[in-house]
Amino acid sequence: MLRLSTLFLRTLREDPADAEVPSHRLLVRAGYIRRAAPGGYTWLPLGWIVYRNVENIVRAEMDAAGFQEVHFPALLPREPYEASNRWTDYGPNVFRLKDRKGADFILAPTHEEVFTLLVKDLYSSYKDLPLHIYQIQTKYRDEARPRAGLLRGREFVMKDSYSFDIDDAGLERSYEQHREAYIKTFDRLGLPYVIVSAMSGAMGGSASEEFLAPIDVGEDTFVRCTNCDYAANTEAVQVRRPDPIALDGLPGALVVDTPDTPTIQTLVDLMNARADLRHPDRDWTAADTLKNVVVKLKHPDGSVSALAVGVPGDRDVDLKRLEAQVGPAEVGTFDAEDFAKNSALVKGYIGPGALGEDNSSGIRYLVDPRIVEGSAWITGADQPGHHVMHLTMGRDFTPDGLVEAAEITDGDPCPRCGSALEIAKGIEIGHIFQLGRRYATVLGLNVLDQNGKSQVVTMGSYGIGVSRAVAAVAETTLDDKGLCWPREVAPADVHIVITGKPAEDTWPKGEAIAAALEARGLRVMLDDRPGVSPGVKFKDAELVGVPTIVVVGKGLANGTIEVQDRRSGDRADIPVDAVIEHLVQLCTT
RNA sequence: CGGGGUGUAGCGCAGCUUGGUAGCGCGCCACGUUCGGGACGUGGAGGCCGGGAGUUCAAAUCUCCCCACCCCGACCA
């Protein structure tokens, strides 16, 4: 039984100044967590109970799916990460340290390598597969900017599982099993989620989906269709490609004099104002122009190359989307110095004429899928103050390929059904990922198949942010009075408030009810603080967020106990001799 | 890493412009009153004013450097 008279708890009357996000504010205010380090939090007794409830739900669902729990150290040597190249790839995001002999260690940000090596250590036959193992472990990432309390910390707890299969069909099945287990887990946690397609290209896998809790304070942007069930991380959205247009009879390309038009808007305004350049039927818009943006790619091996991206002029290049396509290379800006080195590029007037690996700049040129064969564009003529109109894709220029790099906007057509997409924010609470053979290959995880031939194992990796899930549950359930936990993760089933003076009947009665409920298997929190005014007790009960609040007070004179539902605020007066049964019913159904 | 903001008692804040006794509310302790929606009185405890250097007779206050936190952006298997 949790007695508030002795519980290590201090609720705050006012919001902490350093917390902005509601879940963070309330978890601190209601005495669940305290900040202990930049991006690191101490779990107080109530928080730790909730954390363990969440962890146990996750564990129970993993076990129910037949996955086996193991536990690695968080402190790991450099070598495995060297083998997968992530010692360098991870860059400043890993905490690195040295032992007394000067050997390198890391605080693991993720465990793919050591899981792979563990299986390599013990297994060598196809008969041992498939295998699913997982752990619930503290992870460390030196985030540039930890924020929002538990939502993005530098130390956090993650459940990470890995599947090992002999072939692609097996991986497919393993992935599906994990997907099912995740659905059950999040349903049980009472956490709303959207399953979105995510990027997998950079890691060499074939399928990847994220579970996002749709909340405005989330850091991930995703789209979902207003009509069908398509949903994707914005980085992974595949734009609908219009049908090609026949090339016959289109007007020829025409270079026109357009002084002082270095931006799309100035260009469109000038074209609409000039009689000789106007569109015969309508005004030109930014969507009629082709904008070419040059960026620098920094490759993991340290080399740098230039890349040109062509997008319709009414859209910006979304650097995150671009980076997801070109990963593991990083995208940087092409600055004045870079322009100076490449005389074929005229800033503000860059056109396809100068781009492409076969053209004067030699810069690889990728275009948005909307740039289809036969589409005609107004674009740069590669000389100051000049543009070219009617420049037609497939006739006047041919890019080196396509790239999904244009920003996605509200109302864009769904790639599946064509209806409008809407943009939303979410917290990533889970990620499932068909990793493939990348790690198994570099770390040499092979098994013998039926024919005695050595085969590279194919892997999946699957994560749930356990500590983050606590914040996500809080965030999706709280209201203006405080936290509001779903029963299964709540620190207790009932929160009994005793009002009146310790000498009055309410006190022994409250104690008796608490004991009786506990004997019936309910988890009880009892506010037995003497000399604390009823108002304070009510406010604290609402702040702490136990789903059922029981008030032993004034009603006792008439033989009733008040039972409140924290979420709805509904109150009912229950006769004293029926209250135990009533509550047991309430809390177990 | 860039831009903006903030560091003063456990929490929320004032004081800084114009240098001179460190304050308020909540919380905490003692006693008394009160007891169904954040009660009241009286008396208390609690501070290296984020850290360091400097200017000055004298620094929370002025100057420089550093650190931390919050917000926006960059970054985020």
- List the single range of A30-44, A95-109, A293-307, A564-578 with lowest mean pLDDT: A293-307
C1'-nearest nucleotide to the CA of A139: B77
Helix axes A466-477, A45-64, angle to 10 degrees: 110
DSSP-assigned states of every residue in A411-479: TPBPTTT-SBEEEEEEEEEEEEEEEETHHHHHHT-EEE-TTS-EEE-EEEEEEEEHHHHHHHHHHHH-B
pLDDT value for A328: 63
Q: What is the pLDDT of residues A520-545, one digit of tens each?
A: 999 999 999 988 999 999 999 999 99
Residue A267 has pLDDT above 80, yes or no: no
pLDDT value for A201: 46
User: Is the CA virtual torsion A6, A545, A547, A427 positive or negative?
Assistant: negative
pLDDT value for A335: 67
C1'-nearest nucleotide to the CA of A556: B36
User: Which of A53-57, A281-285, A449-453 is the most confident on average?
Assistant: A53-57
Helix axes A22-29, A466-477, angle to 10 degrees: 100
Higher pLDDT, A347 or A210: A210
Give every CB contact of residue A545 below 8 A, 6+ residues apart in sequence: A30, A477, A478, A482, A483, A484, A485, A490, A566
Chain B bases near protein CB atoms (7 A cut-off)? 1, 6, 10-13, 25-27, 33-39, 68-77
Residue A246 has pLDDT above 80, yes or no: no
C1'-nearest nucleotide to the CA of A144: B75
User: Which of A159-168, A234-243, A427-436 is the most confident on average?
Assistant: A159-168
Are A9 and A2 within 8 A, CB to CB? no
User: What is the arithmetic mean of pLDDT over A111-122?
Assistant: 90
Instruction: Please report which confidence band the pLDDT of residue A327 belongs to, taking 50, 70 and 90 as the band edges.
Output: low
- List the single range of A4-13, A180-189, A539-548 with lowest mean pLDDT: A4-13
Residue nearest to nucleotide B75 (CA to C1'): A144
Residue A585 has pLDDT above 90, yes or no: yes
pLDDT value for A202: 42
Phi, psi at A97, each rounded to 5°: -150, 170
At residue A478, what is the residue type?
A: L
Measure A45 CA to B11 C1' (Å): 19
- List the single range of A120-134, A242-256, A565-579 with lowest mean pLDDT: A242-256
Residue A342 has pLDDT above 90, yes or no: no
Instruction: Please report which confidence band the pLDDT of residue A329 belongs to, taking 50, 70 and 90 as the band edges.
Output: low
Residue A97 has pLDDT above 70, yes or no: yes
Residue A21 has pLDDT above 90, yes or no: no
Q: What is the pLDDT of residues A408-428, one digit of tens each?
A: 878 788 878 888 888 888 888
User: What is the arithmetic mean of pLDDT over A360-384?
Assistant: 78
